[in-house]
């Protein structure tokens, strides 16, 4: 980002543009102009000259390069003005002197804009426009300076609109925040993975239908007594636990009650209504079951249940 003040930046680039205008006019027609640095000021672009030409640019920032002069000055620079020219004759030459001014402006902008691109990256500038009369520009940051010769004076201006840059900064801040949150989420995911890896008990999540959702503790399969290569995601919990049919129906009714009454009845009370505190499966294992509610914070509804499964077979044999 810029290491100098906005005012200094404006004035510096205004002077660069003014010197390039002098150089371009000299290269094209051999007329010498000098920059009147004591006229340099920061202000909204306004001119007493009635012929105004400008080129707009855009990219990370937007802005304009501007020059204003009298039509007679343009004709004198081109070497086609005579003292006896009427206003109608001068107007009749507008296509010629406007083309000349746009060519000078285009050349000068092409040489000046490279300085801005050092700070803001590639910028696109558009064809020049010439306006006769008064022209009111938006209240952007602007600066201007006069260049002069024996043929008259030209007001050179430079304006800068940092709105796009601020939007870009906001976007960059948002992306950084997202990156931070993503990093935190990935760290949390790693922590959860570590917990699931080390938990000595079975842990699965189920939805409203009792279907096992992706993600479970590593010990789950050994606690139940099934092979490690068995895929359990998508299984119906009573089938996975190998409950007896009657017990499975009792549990199903309880699960429906939990999801329908959650929020009306405290979950602790709903949990206590489950008759299946322990079950004995077909593999001869006695399994203790506990339930934890996972809610959607925004909607305040029950999203899923965590089922903690503990093998208490040995304890029950004592």
Among 61, 79, 86, CA closest to 2? 61
Query: Tokens at residue 236, please?
Result: 């119906």
* Section 99-117 average pLDDT: 92
In this prediction, residue 9 carries a pLDDT of 79
CATH class as words, domain 6-161: alpha beta
- For residue 47, name the pLDDT band (cuts at 50, 70, 90): confident
CA distances from 17 to 37, 117, 200, 211 (A): 12, 14, 74, 71
The 10s digit of each residue's pLDDT in 128-176 is: 999 988 777 666 778 999 999 999 999 999 998 766 566 556 545 655 6
Average pLDDT over the chain, rounded to an integer? 84
CA distances from 293 to 109, 277, 297 (A): 66, 16, 12
In this prediction, residue 1 carries a pLDDT of 40
Winning range, highest mean pLDDT, from 65-69, 182-186, 216-220, 273-277: 65-69
Beta bridge partners, 147, equal 35, 154
The 10s digit of each residue's pLDDT in 76-94 is: 999 999 888 899 998 899 9
CATH number listed for the domain at residues 199-317:
3.30.450.20
Whether 199-317 and 6-161 are alike in CATH topology: the answer is no
* Section 190-205 average pLDDT: 72
In this prediction, residue 34 carries a pLDDT of 95
- For residue 3, name the pLDDT band (cuts at 50, 70, 90): very low
Q: What residue ranges do the domains of the chain occupy?
A: 6-161, 199-317
* Section 38-64 average pLDDT: 89
Query: For the CA atoms of 65, 70, 71, 76, what is the dihedral angle to 10 degrees?
Result: -100
β-pairing verdict for 141-149 and 62-69: unpaired
């Amino acid at each position: 980002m810029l290491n100098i003040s906005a005012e200094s930046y404006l004035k510096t680039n205004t002077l660069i543009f003014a010197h390039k205008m002098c150089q371009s006019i000299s290269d094209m027609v051999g007329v010498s102009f000098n920059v009147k640095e004591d006229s340099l000021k920061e202000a909204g672009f306004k001119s007493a000259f009635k012929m105004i030409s400008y080129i707009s640019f855009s990219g990370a920032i937007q802005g304009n390069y501007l020059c204003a002069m009298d039509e007679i000055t343009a004709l004198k620079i081109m070497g086609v003005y005579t003292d006896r020219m009427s206003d109608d004759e001068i107007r009749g030459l507008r296509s010629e002197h406007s083309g000349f001014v746009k060519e000078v402006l285009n050349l000068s902008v092409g040489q000046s804009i490279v300085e801005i691109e050092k700070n803001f990256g590639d910028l696109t500038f558009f064809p020049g426009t010439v306006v006769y009369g008064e022209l009111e520009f938006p209240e952007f940051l602007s600066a201007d300076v006069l260049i002069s010769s024996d043929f008259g004076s030209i007001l050179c201006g430079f304006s800068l609109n940092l709105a796009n840059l601020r939007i870009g900064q906001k976007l960059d801040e948002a992306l950084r925040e997202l990156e931070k949150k993503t990093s935190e989420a990935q760290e949390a995911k790693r922590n959860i993975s570590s917990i699931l890896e080390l938990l000595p008990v079975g842990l699965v999540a189920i939805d409203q239908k009792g279907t096992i959702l992706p993600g479970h503790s590593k010990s789950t399969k050994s606690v139940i007594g099934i092979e490690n290569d068995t895929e359990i995601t998508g299984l119906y919990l009573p089938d996975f636990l190998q409950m007896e049919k009657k017990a499975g129906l009792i549990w199903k009714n309880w699960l429906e009650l939990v999801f329908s009454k959650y929020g009306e009845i405290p979950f602790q009370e709903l949990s206590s209504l489950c008759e299946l505190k322990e079950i004995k499966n077909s593999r001869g294992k006695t399994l203790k079951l506990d339930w934890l509610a996972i809610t959607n914070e925004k909607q305040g509804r029950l999203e899923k249940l965590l089922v903690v499964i503990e093998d208490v077979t040995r304890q029950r044999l004592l």
